[in-house]
Structure 1
Amino acid sequence: MNEHRVVKVSKYLSKHLRHQPERLGLTLDDNGWVEIDALLRAAGEHGFRITRAELDHVVATNDKKRFAVRDDDPVRGALIRASQGHSVEVDLDLPPAEPPAYLFHGTHPRAVAAIRAEGLRPMNRHDVHLSPDRETATRVGARRGRPVVLAVDAGAMHRAGHVFRVSANGVWLTAHVPVGFLRFQDSSPGA
């Protein structure tokens, strides 16, 4: 499977498992799972044929581990869901977890003024996404140009009663990061 096809399938899965399952006639369960056979059938019916081998390859090789697969449902068979990042209503059923002292958030310079005023908000997602290290946050922020990396005093937030959860792929999730818990930095060399 060539890299172009891997990216194309990954984006297609993200779009329909995180944001628009109804466009394929799919209904995610309360926890975001859908039957793999139903997903593959619906994709084919909508002009985007994906084989099970291609799906398995994308799930296994995605460096961000965007998708999770379960083969243990005795009624529905094999299931798939996006690990996080949904704009549709789902409960990922992730238990609260104690975060490391600091987490990081990558963004772009145009967002900094709003973040300084309101803190980090989930925008069109359910939660704010935080990275466990500066390098990952830098890559996330670089998707829209020069990245800005914010350090989040997650330990202090946790002590203040804010709830954190961690997805299967290591992305930390929380409802909101107030301004007082943010440390503004950039990711230019030597910063």
Structure 2
Amino acid sequence: MTNSEQKSKLLARWLRHRPDAIGLELDRSGWTDVSDLLVKSAGAGISITRDELLQLVAGNDKQRFSLSEDGTRIRAAQGHSVDVDLKMTVRTPPPVLYHGTVEKFIASIRRQGLLPGTRRDVHLSATKQTAEEVGARRGSPVVLIVETFPLLRDGYQFRRSDNGVWLIPNVPPKYLRFPNK
């Protein structure tokens, strides 16, 4: 793992799950001051320059981070386990979304559906390829298909993050299509 990848993983950890690990404070919408982040990360022994931070944000293939328009604040785009309100509006998704996982979770998903685990929402992808990449992080990927229109009909609401990830609190099993094996 490169130094940049390590720093990106730490940023995700601090901005999504553990701001307290370096004494960082997130506002209600998940934002924190860039200068405060740089000072606190240096205090934790992780030196990140402003230019490095901008490069980490711009170069992140999953666009995990958002900068404010004036560049003075930063937040994670989604995936939080801490209580924040990203102020994402409810949106109508495409007819089908995808979820990447691995075989060892399939039996549980068949029983309980998709649950957010430690996150606040279940993450869904607009493309099968993205779901395969997500699942592949933990082994041989299994891609589930999520039927969105029945969910909408039954009162579920979807939101989409700045980086294109579709979010929903949970997906019961009856709305899922499993691969034939």
Is the pair's TM-score, using the shorter chain for normalization, greater than 0.5?
Answer: yes
TM-score by length of 1: 0.92
Q: Among the aligned pairs, what percent are the same residue? A: 48
Q: What is the DSSP-based 3-state SS (H/G/I as helix, E as strand, rest coil) of the residue aligned with 1:144? A: coil
Q: What is the DSSP-based 3-state SS (H/G/I as helix, E as strand, rest coil) of the residue aligned with 1:57? A: helix
* 1:13-162 superposed matches below 5 A: 13-72=11-70, 78-162=72-156
- For 1:91 and 1:49, the matched residues in 2 are separated by 29
Q: CA deviation at 1:23?
A: 1.0
Q: Deviation per CA, 1:54-77, whole angstroms, max 9, x where unpaired? A: 1000100111000000044xxxx7
CA RMSD between the two structures: 1.3
Q: What is the DSSP-based 3-state SS (H/G/I as helix, E as strand, rest coil) of the residue aligned with 2:137? A: helix
- Tell me, yes or no, if the aligned pair for 1:95 and 1:165 is still in contact at 8 Å: yes
Q: Between 177-186 and 60-69, report the one with greater CA deviation.
A: 177-186
* Regions of 4+ moved over 3 Å: none
5+ long unaligned stretches in structure 2: none
Q: CA deviation at 1:53?
A: 0.5
TM-score by length of 2: 0.97
What count of residue pairs does the alignment treat as equivalent? 181
Q: Between 4-13 and 33-42, report the one with greater CA deviation.
A: 4-13
Letter in 1 for 2:13: K
Q: What is the DSSP-based 3-state SS (H/G/I as helix, E as strand, rest coil) of the residue aligned with 1:17? A: helix
Letter in 2 for 1:36: V
- For 1:114 and 1:86, the matched residues in 2 are separated by 23
